[in-house]
Chains A and B, each alone.
Chain A
Amino acid sequence: MAVTFVAASTVAAVAANPPTVNLTLPALNGLDIIIIDISSNNIVEASNEIDTPSGYTEFGTKHEVDGSAAADDRRQGTFWKRAVAADSGATVTISRQGTDTTLLAGVASVWRGAVREGSPFDATTATNASNSATGDIISFPAYDPVATDVHVVYTGWKADDATTALADFTNDSTTFTIRNDQEGTTGNDFTYGLWSANRTGAPLSAINATATGTDGACLGKAFALIPFVNSSVTVTTTIGSSGTYSTPQLWEDGSSADLTTAEKSAAGTFAVAALQRGETLTWTTGGATAKLLETDSTGAGNGTYITYGIISGTPGAGTVTGGTSTGTCVSTYADPLNTGVIWRGECQNQEFSGAGTQLTVSGSTSASTAYKECTTVAGASFRDHANKLTNALRYDSANGCGIRVTGSDSEVVSMNESNARLSSIQCQAPTINSKALNISGADPLVEFCLCEGTDIAQGAVLAQGSGILRNTVIIQRGSAAASILRGGIGVGFVYNCTLVASDDLATAPTAVLECSAGGTITVQNCGLFAGDSTKAVTAGSATFNFTTCYSDISGTSGVTQTTYGNEFQNVNDATRDFRLKTGAAQIDTGTTDATNAPVDIVGTTRPKQAAYDVGAWEFQALGSSMFLTLGVGR
């Protein structure tokens, strides 16, 4: 969204004691930026300083010009406010300290499309220029914005009420359009000019706007407004015994039906009671309803925003009431601060265990920028454990957060919604015929997970939706399974994963990868071990494209055969540990992929040695440095 000029007020001017005058704002909308530029003929700031209008914030610094004639003296101050609807046509009082009767003038300009939170100005603060000589100009300073997408504004005053009409001017090949040109005879008279244009962030040299007149002294200021660019807002909540939600499933149920239209809006005047997460909000004006996802308000009297998923209607400015709490607040603007929510649940360091699917993700409209994501609180994952380099690489809830299903014929996590994400979590389905993951939504992302399953028909992990699986270990623990990982229709990508079956299963899986529904699956840097070299790497009609993969099974292009027992610390079911061991063929034989595998499953930076390793684990020779140190000492 570009910043645009909306309107400017009539200059309000006074030359009398008290030096106070009311300025009437033009018609505007909430979230517009109001900039009030004030010029004072009195430059004795110690006793005659320009006041900051009530409710406004000064930006840049005041500056002045000491003209060759006292009548040409000028001092300039600039102030801003993010408008609310009630500012439209409102009165703003302009004033100056002291009792001096020389000119005090102010004008408001209104701008639309600037950022909706925080300062609307570029990080390069407003810069000033002045010129005390008589001349046909208004001088503006050089200005070099930090941002690359800005709307540069020049605003200036000249001590002359008889200038010719102000016109556009060009600076660095950009035409700056004259937005406002006013003159007045109050006091020692004045001319006010306002120009602006979109810029890419390149520096602008100092420049003079032509303002042909007879008197001298001018003041100019340059600054830039930052355009609003919508971004999703992430709503993060904790899951666990002391979290916001008790279980992953209750977290998931707390989301809204449409994450793509969910909004964060500025709000204030929180009253009556604390709004409660999950309750239904109703807008008094228009009757829109929404589900409260988050607020920073802890009760009546505090809070600055509400984030909600829209159920019906179009939320706008005005009073909002919580259906359960009866608490109220006032939504400040008609437009939201952000549209789109990432609903992020962070599990605490505990095991979530029970009968039946522990987490089903489904039923919300999502997008690549607005989705559900389940992960762990910082420090709560097996990836964060102090002994992560020496812990056996298998499910162990003592090492970090784990989700476990206790029953048979079930699954730990079912991701049936597009764009869902899962990371840093251990999932285990140890009982007969249960999957660690069932992924049927499109474009999922699963990474840094440890998945153990027993489903012999659909694999330890069933991944039907096209998506990405990376830096993850999948262990098939069910005997006589059809596969370890079963894919589905679409295009799937498997990067740096370790797909294995325990070596001592009564019957190894028929295939490591199975996909009977067509599609294309890209498999790169993966260890693919069935525990029986007579089995197959693939099964089904899909097209598999392998790059630098290893297996205990021969005969597949892009897959090098190696001995299972030589690759991992322990391949037996009870004592399984799928960290690579010294001498493994998978060490230093992978393809570099800084996009999908810059770190391994526990966060070790790749490559640790000469090249990327294959599989989820990046090998490092633990204890070798100690050995070398002792050797040097001998």
Chain B
Amino acid sequence: MARLVVRTQPNPGKTPEQSLLRTQEGDVVDIVNDGVEIRPGTLNSGHYRIIDLPGIPQEALVHLKAAVFDTEGGLVRRRAKTLDIDALRSPEWAGRSEMTLAEVATLTKMRA
């Protein structure tokens, strides 16, 4: 049931600190139900990749959207985790538009 929208192109901020507050390559930008059509503003830019996880509820993947906050609720980092962009680009995964939860787990790593 979940569809991941993954950023595949650089998205730098003006400073390294600002870049932390923006989604970067490999980050899951959003999770929608897999029947939701990704509209042209996102799809046609060439900066995103769509990965479906049939049968998997959003809740099982929400950790991929989790941000890092300070104790007062201020955003420190846009994403705590990311998908391995190099692996996603590798021949093994490059052509995959569907994955299992376990496969996504193997690609998930803590953001440096």
Contacts and interface: CB of A to CB of B under 8 A. Distances in A.
Contacts of A30: none
B45 A324 contact: yes
In this complex, which of B7, B41, B67 has the most chain A Cβ atoms within 10 angstroms of its Cβ?
Answer: B41
Nearest to A244: B41
Nearest to A435: B73
Contacts of B85: none
A431 to B, nearest CB: 11
B82 interface: no
B37 interface: yes
B41 A258 contact: no
Nearest to A323: B46
B22 A363 contact: yes
Given A249-B30, A324-B45, A357-B65, A416 B37 contact: no
Contacts of B38: 246, 250
A299 interface: no
Nearest to A241: B37
Contacts, number: 138
B44 A277 contact: yes
A356 B62 contact: yes
A551 interface: no
Contact of A253 (B18, B23, B74): B23
B40 to A, nearest CB: 7
A419 to B, nearest CB: 15
Contacts of A357: 65, 67
Contact of A257 (B22, B72, B78): B22
B34 to A, nearest CB: 12
B39 A243 contact: yes
A619 B36 CA distance: 40
Contacts of B31: 354-356
A488 interface: yes
Given A258-B14, A311-B12, A357-B67, A250 B41 contact: yes
A73 to B, nearest CB: 62
Given A354-B58, A462-B73, A363 B45 contact: no
Interface SS, A side: loop
Interface residues of B, number: 42
B91 to A, nearest CB: 22
B46 A416 contact: no
Interface residues on A, range: 35 or more
A531 to B, nearest CB: 25
Contacts of B21: 362-363, 416-417
Contacts of B18: 257, 363-365
A41 interface: no
A462 B46 CA distance: 36
Interface string B64-99: 011100001111001000000000000000000000
B55 interface: no
B45 A440 contact: no
A241 B31 CA distance: 15
A363 B39 CA distance: 23
B9 A280 contact: yes
A416 B36 contact: no
A472 interface: no
B45 A354 contact: no
A417 B12 CA distance: 16
Contacts of B72: 440, 464, 488, 517
A276 B74 contact: no
A335 to B, nearest CB: 21
Nearest to B27: A253
Given A257-B22, A356-B65, A363-B21, A416 B42 contact: no
Interface of A: 237, 241-247, 249-251, 253-254, 257-258, 276-280, 311, 323-325, 354-357, 360, 362-365, 406-407, 410, 414, 416-417, 438, 440, 458, 462, 464, 488, 517
Given A356-B31, A360-B75, A438-B73, 18 more contacts: A243-B41, A246-B38, A246-B39, A253-B42, A254-B45, A257-B11, A276-B46, A278-B46, A311-B12, A355-B62, A356-B62, A362-B21, A406-B58, A407-B59, A407-B62, A416-B74, A440-B73, A464-B72
